[in-house]
Amino acid sequence: MATNKNEDQPIMGDMHAVLEKSLIEAYLMGKGFSMEKLKKLPKAEAKRLMTEASIYASGKLAELEERAHFMDELHDAYSEE
């Protein structure tokens, strides 16, 4: 994982990529597949599953980003009082 030259923290894009990959793998596991098993499927079925997994992961990432934004708004609102 790439790191920021100034810190030991992963770059934000890399963190999103790692989380997205984890969400895709979790979706596939829920359907009884792994990335390795996916490679053994017919191309059309593998593509369909990866499309479903990508849509799932995108939705979850959007949900997490919205929650983070909401928490920032709450924090800002209460810190102004």
Is the pLDDT assigned to residue 57 strictly greater than 70?
Answer: yes
List, for residues 9-43, the tens digit of each pLDDT value: 556 668 888 999 999 999 999 999 999 999 999 99
pLDDT, residue 10, reads 59
Q: Are 16 and 61 in contact (CB under 8 A)?
A: yes
% pLDDT > 70, the chain: 81
Q: Does residue 2 register a pLDDT over 50?
A: no
How much is the average pLDDT of 37-57? 97
Cα 9 from chain centroid (whole Å) = 18
